[in-house]
Amino acid sequence: RKEVEQDPGPFNVPEGATVAFNCTYSNSASQSFFWYRQDCRKEPKLLMSVYSSGNEDGRFTAQLNRASQYISLLIRDSKLSDSATYLCVVNSDTGRRALTFGSGTRLQVQP
Amino acid sequence: EAGVTQFPSHSVIEKGQTVTLRCDPISGHDNLYWYRRVMGKEIKFLLHFVKESKQDESGMPNNRFLAERTGGTYSTLKVQPAELEDSGVYFCASSLSAGGPYDEQFFGPGTRLTVL
C-alpha cells in the first residue's frame, strides 16, 4: 500500500467549476501536510500547507482530518491556469524532513 | 533572488557510465534534499543534508549513488555505474535552517537522466 494515495484523474472541468481532490495517508504519526502543484515537465511548487483547523487561500481551501487520515483540496471558480498536477505531500516521520509524495491528480480546466 | 538551480538539465548516458548531477541551493539555505521521480512513479526522497552533513540518507537506493556537499554549499549526486532503472528526473530542494516540519522546501527544475 502506498503511503500517500491520490486519485490520478484526470479531472476535466469547465472554467468556473468547483473541483475537489482527496488524498489519504497511511502513517498516523505524520506531522505536516501540503499540496504542491506541478506543471508539465516543471518542478513541484508549494501551493499551500494544510493545518489541522483547515485553511483557505483565495480560491483554494485545504482540509485535514487526522482521525480519518484524509486531506482535501477544494478549488473554486477554476481558471484555465489551474490546469496542472496536484501533489498531496506528507512529512511522515518525526525528526525527519523527508517529504512523501502522492502520485498526483491531474486537473484540466477547459474553456 | 535566485532559486534552486540544477545542472545539467538533461543527461543521456549509456549503461555502465558515470554521471554527476549538481545542485545549487538558495543562498542561506542550510538544508538540501535530493529526490527523484522514475517513470510512472511518485517522487521519492533520496537524502537530506544539513550544511555539509548527511542528516538522512535512508532513501538512497544502493551504493552506486554517492552524494556530497563539501563546504555546505552546492551538492553533487554521482551515479556510478549507471543502470537502466536509474532513468528519471532528479530534483534537488532546499529549505531554511531554523524551522519546523512546515518549512517550505523549494525545488529546482530537475535533471532528466536517461540511461540507455
Give the pLDDT confidence of A10-29 residue by residue, as tens digits.
Answer: 999 999 999 999 999 999 98
Largest CA distance in chain A: 45
Whether A105 and chain B come into contact, CB under 8 Å, resolves to no
d(CA A105, CA B12): 29
Is B45 close to A98, i.e. CB distance below 8 A?
yes
Mean pLDDT of B50-60: 94
Render pLDDT for B22-42 as a digit per residue (tens, 0 to 9).
999 999 999 999 999 998 899
Mean pLDDT of B42-57: 95
Q: Which helix (H) or strand (E) holds A18?
A: none
Type of residue found at B45: F
Is A96 close to B103, i.e. CB distance below 8 A?
no
Cell of B19: 554521471
Render pLDDT for B59-104 as a digit per residue (tens, 0 to 9).
999 999 999 998 889 999 999 999 999 999 999 999 987 567 788 9
Min Cα distance B115 → chain A (Å) is: 18
Closest CA to B44 of B93, B103, B98, B114: B93
Which of B91, B101, B109 is nearest residue A31 as measured by Cβ atoms? Answer: B101
Residue B71: strand, helix, or coil: helix
Residues in chain A within 8 Å Cβ distance of B103: 97
Type of residue found at A100: T
Mean pLDDT of A40-55: 92
- Nearest residue on chain A to B43, alpha-carbon basis: A101
Instruction: Specify which residues B54 forms β-bridges with.
Output: B49
Residues in chain A within 8 Å Cβ distance of B44: 101
